[in-house]
Each structure stands twice: as C-alpha cells, then as structure tokens.
Chain A
Amino acid sequence: MPPLFILSPPRSFTSVTCAMLGEHPQMFGLAEINLFAGDTVADMQELYASRARLETGLLRSLAHLAFSEQTEETIEAARQWLRANADMTTAELFRTMQAWLPDRVFIDKSPLHVFTLEPMTRMRRYFPDARYLHLTRHPGDTIKSVLQLQQTVVDRVVERAPRLGSFRAARSNSELPDKYWLQPHLAIMEFLESVPADQQIRLRGEDLLSEPRTYLPQIAEWLEIRTDDDAIEAMMHPENSPFASYGPSNAKYGNDPNFMEKPALRPYSYKPHPLTWEPEPGQPVEVSETIRVYAMQFGY
C-alpha cells in the first residue's frame, strides 16, 4: 500500500501523530528513519558516520519489523544487515520493510526530510502514489518546544558533567523561527506544489490533539482505510507504538524523547493566541510578516 509521509518541522506533534496513526490496524508508524536523505544505503551510512543518532530510528524499525523485538542483539543484526546491503537503494530498503509487514500503510515522519526539497522529491519519485500529511503547529509554540528540548539536552550533559554548572541552552537567536518553522514549511509547500491535490492534506496538530475522535476518523476516511470504532480506539493509544519508549542501549532514541517519556494521550485544549514567540521566557515578540502570513494560512 502507498505510504503516508508526515511532513512537518520538528517539534510539531509528529511523534505522537505518527504513533497514533500507526496503531490503526491497517497502518504502521515507523521510527525516524530519515531514509530519503540519500539515494542508497551507502549514502546514508556516510551520513551516519558523522551523525550516528540519525541511524537509530532506522535500526529500531528494521529490528522490530524483522524480529518483532528491539534488543541489543536484534539492533546489531539490523546494523550488520544494513552494512551487507549498502548497495541497496533507499527505495528498495523501504519496500523491503513494507514487504516484511504487508498490507499496511507505512507512516514516516522523519525530521531530516523536510528541510530541503531533495528528500521529498525522492519520496515522490519512489512512491508516486504516496500521500502527504502536512502537519502544523503554532510557530511560537514550535520554537518554545525547540528551546525546551535544547535545554533538556543541555541538562542531560550537565548531569553527566557537573563541572558545567548551570549552563543554559542558547536563546535569543532571532533566526530560530525562520530556521525551525518557516524554512521547513516553505520547503514542504514548494514540494507539495508538485503533488496532486487529492494526495495531500493539511492538519493542525492542535486540532488533532484537542479532538482526536473528530479528526482520526477523517484521516482514516481520507486514506480510505477502516473507520470503525475499533480502528479509531486503537489510534487513541499511541503508547502502544513499538517506538513509544526508549530503545535498547545501542539504539536508544530514534524518536522524540519527550514523547517516549510520556507517550499516552493527555487531555489537551488549544486556545488561539497571538502570533508571537519568546526569545526570552515571558518576553513575547511578534513573528516576522512572512511567518505571520503563513501561520495565518495554516489557521493560527
């Protein structure tokens, strides 16, 4: 079945959305495979050499699909298998994974795919019938989440190296909204100009999380898969995703750490708020005119 690609900047509810949808009996939500950043597995391994964590989601996905479990052993077996198949194209690898779990809509939400056109163009070339869910989040909230994650990472470093004291993640970078919100959205929208209208749809992440029982059936209807109560109920439990918790020590991440800490759906309500972001806590400033206009287009 044609895959579903969730296209969204990082920190835009992609993990929980992918996990929810992936629990539908006819779908499977992958970890962050970042696969279409290259043409071949060898291309990707070149990338992994300098950024090893980018491989984690793929290893976890392969291990789960091939062995139905993610252990240090199965992760290592997946890694070896990848090395042995370095000449495989990334399309062949994706299709191989699909063959291991047939008759499912595979869902990918890799953050590496949305910053330039190339990965998305590759997806379209490999999978012309694929569908695209353009997932959005309020720009100010997105950047807040980016900054919080950066601080979380710093805190963990400090935990391991107390000498760094109360080191704080860098803020006040006025380019953050452009870099982490606008540019990915612009790339996504440019890419979607080449995709037939019926193969793409936009969704505010806030709407999905506020009213999942309103929007999950619509997503299933759009994808032309089951919309019965059992299927919808299954999607209400992202915590059941095989990637809703940390992986084994040799592939711990591959998904959003915050999501893996608390994967279950929680009551959520969204109240419209101004198009601002906070370079410093409690000091909102307006987003740029361009961001404002695109955010308005997305319903913010």
Chain B
Amino acid sequence: MIALSNESSGSPATALSTSGQLRSDQSRKRLSVEDFELLQIPFLNPAVRTSQGMAWFENKVILGTGRAPLGFLGRYTAQSGPRFGGRSSQTGGSDAHGAQIIVFDPNTRQWEKVFDSPIVQGRDGNMRARDRSVRARLVCQTLGDSKPCLYLGMGSLEGEVVFLRSEDGIEYQECKGSGFNLNADIPSVRSMACLDGKLFCTPTGRNYKRGMWDDNLTDHPIIFQATDPLAGNWVAVSEPGFGNPENQSINELEVFNGHVYAAALNTRYGFELWKTDARGNPPYRWVKVLERGAWRGPMNSIPLAMVVYKNALYVSASIQRQGGIHLDHFGPFPAEMIRVYPDDSWDLVTGTQRFTPQGLKRPITGLSGGFGDRYLHNFWRFAVMDDALYLGTAGWKWMPTYLRDRPDLSEAQLQRLRTETEDYRSGEFSLWRTDDGIRWESVTTTGFPGSSPNNYGIREMLATPYGLFVAPTGRTGSGKGGGLELWWGHSN
C-alpha cells in the first residue's frame, strides 16, 4: 500500500479523505470488470513478467517492473556452473534484461521509460542486468528530505539490493548503503514503512541458497531504519527475528496507529506480528501482537500483505510455495485474512474457526479460508480507494503441487482434487472489494476479459485519483508468450 502524501493534493481530481486514504472523484462508482481497460505498455523488455512495485507520485503512475530470476525458479541463480535443467532464461528475454521503471500519466495517457537496470559483470564474467525487480516502493519524507520522495528497493539478480530515490518520479538517484551496508547475501527487500521521518525496511531473499525458492527468506531477519536513505545511514532497529530463531524473514511492514507493524515469516509455527512506536534510540522496543500464524500454525507461515483500512490493520497469510516440498506438497491450503485493532485485539476475517488464547475466533465474513475456496492461496495485494478495500488474489491450481505423490490421501480425496483442478482456466485470478471488511463482492473471479492465460495472480495494485491500476503477474516475459499487463479500472 502506498502511503499517500501531499504530492497528490492539488490535482483537480483528487482529495484526501479524513483517514488519509485516497479518494477518487471520478471513480466513486463501484468498479466492475467492464470498467477495466488493458493498457499497452511500451518499452517493456521481453523478460519482464511482473510488477511488485507501483507508486502514485507526482501525479503519475510509477510502474516498477520485474523479471524472473536467472535459472529455472532461481535454483542456481548467481552460481557458477550449469543452471537447473538447462532451463535458464526460459521465462523470456536474456540475462541482460532486467528491471525497468516506466511512467504513465493517466491525464495525457503518455508513457515514459525512466529507468533500465544497469548492465554489470556477473560473477561468472558474463554481462547481465544488475536489478531483477522493483521489489518495494514507498513515498516518504525522511529527515534527510526536503520534500516527499519516492524510494524504491531494487531486488538484485546476483548482488545486493540497491535503493533508488526520486524527487520527481523521472530522475533517480542511487542511494548509498546497498544491502543495508551488511556486505552479505541480501538480494532484495519486500516492504518499506515511513514513520516520523524514518524509512524502515528489511532484507529478504538469498541468492546463494536456493534463489527464488528462498525469495522470501533471509539470513538477516532484521528491521533497519534510515533517516537519510540517500546517504545510506541504515541502522538496525530490531534484533534478528525478534529473538525467535524460527522467524526466517520479515516480509511486511506497515504504519498503523502511530506504530510500525512488522510481520515475520515463520514456516515452522506460523507468522508473527510485532509492533513498535519507534521512540527513543534504536533498537526499539517491539511488542508481539500475534504469533503462530494467528493460531492457525504453519499454514499461515508467510504474511502476504498488510494494509490499514478503517482503523484496522488487515493482514493476509498463507503458506510459502516451495516447489512441492514440505507443506506445499500437502495442500491446498487457502489464504486467511485477519484484522487487528489498535488495542491489539483481532478478528478472523476469512479462515478456519478456532480456539485461541484470545478467545474463540469465528470468521466475521462467515467464510472459511480463501473466502470459502480452498484453492485461493494468495491474498496478494490490497489497495484502498474511495473508502473501499480492494484485494487481488492468486490461486493454487495453476501449479497443483498437491496432486503429486499423496499417500496420505484416499483415492476419493485425490479424485476430488483432480476433478476440482480440472476446472482451472489458464490465467484466472480474482479481484474483490469490500466497504466494511465483512461483506466482500467479487469484481472478477476469472481475470479480466482478454487477459493473458499466462497470468496467475494479481501481484500489484495501485489506487490513484484516476482509478485503480491492477498488474497481474505472468509466468513468463513476452519473450516466452507472457509479459506484464497493466489494467486500468476507471468509470470513464
């Protein structure tokens, strides 16, 4: 979720609601699937297949893009020697094709490419893109900034994460302090937060372990802050994993009720949610809000997305896909959603009813996980627009690891899974909206009309004064029949 700043005020179509969330004058009407148009994005290189970082900045859509890792599923990313199965770059493009930043002005419908990953020499001596993906984005005015600036975390193909800063969305400066100054295997980040002039961020990924399979894990599950990101003055503000060695990364950050909230991935017992008011000198005092995946356990191992909506923090979680090993092999497990209140009490929005130390939790929607669909695996991205909360999802059927080698299931169970999986239509994903977190309506459950069968979920959404921008993620770049799509939902 992009924290909106004053840069959006003054636009003829824009006003800020009392909650600070975006209000779009022209899109007050409930968006329906017919309101979405597919934009033709120029400049994209053939490797780009996703966007994990869009921002509304200086009255423009900043479209940060990303490609696949080097080897198949990244297993041998950045390692010398052959890549897994010889399937390197099978997701389209070449090693030289990396992350791009493309700017769209919805007022003029003009596009501008403002950034291409630099080409650098890889460890094997070959030249390749430095940046794999724009992985995190936030508008923040730090103590070192004279105005709100756009900060981007650039995931690396084989090096360390680099931070970019822009004052206008067009020109980008590379910040000092790549990899949080750790000189370690820190290829990426997932999330940033901004509070009291401090930019918070945290490492993710391990290029030198299992590449994409460890896209979410890190050897350094620590939260850092910078008061002057351009100078790279990152300092640690939490202890590793909040003191729990089972916390393998900190995947989501959000500011809520004057606190920074941080959600930690824990594949053994389920995610944890912590918060701090970030006062005093770092490291700060962190308080645990949720543990054990909100008492669902490791089926809620990975926190997927967080957003503040109507005085509650919404957190979604599921299992980390790991290529058919561990829990991934035993699915499907649907995603769950929890909402946390300022006093740390919480409700289950959609999920399995259960007993907890905080009392009996029944889903306030009346729906079990995945809004009742056990294959709805990812509640992947939230966006708040016009006082409504939008949710983009991804399913599990496109990669049905749960069908492989299941001696734990009866033949009848397996047959049910097979039959239900046959319903899968390539490219399907769903988009939902709600006005209260309790009653959800689907904008679509089958993707957008004409969207690519290469897509498998909505990885990024952006609320703007001009409507909702939705970026489904594809399995491959355009070089292999896929490519990034951007859909613009607006009422005129």
Contact = CB atoms under 8 A, between A and B. Distances in A.
9 contacts: A186-B408, A190-B410, A198-B362, A214-B357, A215-B355, A293-B326, A297-B330, A298-B297, A299-B292
Which residue, of A190, A193, A197, A203, has the highest number of chain B Cβ atoms within 10 A?
A197
A218 interface: yes
A290 B268 contact: no
Contacts of A203: 355
B407 A201 contact: no
Interface in B311-337: 326-327, 329-330
Of the candidates B326, B353, B359, B408, the one having the most CB atoms from chain A within 10 angstroms of its own CB is: B408
A211 B357 contact: yes
A239 B329 CA distance: 44
Contacts of B442: none
B299 A297 contact: yes
A100 interface: no
A82 interface: no
Q: Nearest 6 pairs between A and B by C-beta?
A: A218-B360, A197-B368, A218-B355, A299-B297, A221-B360, A296-B298
Given A190-B413, A296-B298, A222 B292 contact: no
A201 B353 contact: yes
A89 B269 CA distance: 45
B346 to A, nearest CB: 15
B77 to A, nearest CB: 27
A106 to B, nearest CB: 21
Interface in B268-298: 268-269, 292, 295, 297-298
Contacts of B360: 218, 221-222
A237 B126 CA distance: 73
Given A190-B410, A198-B353, A207-B355, 13 more contacts: A117-B410, A197-B352, A198-B362, A215-B355, A218-B360, A219-B355, A222-B355, A293-B329, A296-B298, A297-B297, A297-B327, A299-B269, A299-B295
Name the residue in B297, B298, B368, B412 with the highest tally of chain A Cβ atoms < 10 Å from its Cβ: B297
A137 B410 CA distance: 23
A190 B353 CA distance: 18
A202 B354 CA distance: 7
Interface string B348-378: 0000111101011010000010000000000
Nearest to B298: A296
A48 interface: no
Contacts of B355: 201, 203, 207, 215, 218-219, 222
Nearest to B292: A299
Nearest to B267: A296
Contacts of B329: 293
A117 B407 CA distance: 16
Interface string A217-257: 01101100000000000000000000000000000000000
Contacts of A221: 359-360
A189 to B, nearest CB: 9
A122 B486 CA distance: 52
Given A201-B355, A214-B357, A293 B297 contact: no
Interface size class, chain B? 20 to 34
Interface of B: 268-269, 292, 295, 297-299, 326-327, 329-330, 352-355, 357, 359-360, 362, 368, 407-410, 412-413, 416
Contacts of B268: 296
A294 interface: yes
Interface string A267-300: 0000000000000000000000010011011110
Interface string A93-129: 0000000000000000000000001000000000000
A65 to B, nearest CB: 30
B327 A296 contact: yes
B466 to A, nearest CB: 40
Interface of A: 117, 182, 186, 190, 193, 197-198, 201-203, 207, 211, 214-215, 218-219, 221-222, 290, 293-294, 296-299
A117 B412 CA distance: 12
B358 to A, nearest CB: 9
Given A290-B407, A299-B292, A197 B297 contact: no
Nearest to B333: A297
B297 A296 contact: yes
Nearest to A117: B410
A62 to B, nearest CB: 32
A293 B330 contact: yes
Contacts of A299: 269, 292, 295, 297
A292 B362 CA distance: 27
A244 to B, nearest CB: 24
Nearest to B408: A290
Contact of B353 (A186, A197, A296, A297): A197
A232 to B, nearest CB: 14
A208 to B, nearest CB: 8
B331 to A, nearest CB: 11
Nearest to A196: B368
Contacts of B407: 290
Contacts of A186: 408-409
Contacts of A214: 357
A117 B409 CA distance: 13
Nearest to A300: B297
Contacts of A222: 353, 355, 360
Contacts of A215: 355
Contacts of A298: 297
Contacts of A219: 355
A137 to B, nearest CB: 15
Nearest to A193: B413
Contacts of B297: 296-299
A240 B303 CA distance: 45
A229 to B, nearest CB: 16
Contacts of A117: 410
Nearest to A204: B355
Nearest to B416: A193
B326 to A, nearest CB: 7
Contacts of B413: 190, 193
Contacts of B408: 182, 186, 290, 294
A218 B356 CA distance: 9
B308 to A, nearest CB: 28
Nearest to B410: A190
Contacts of B330: 293-294, 297
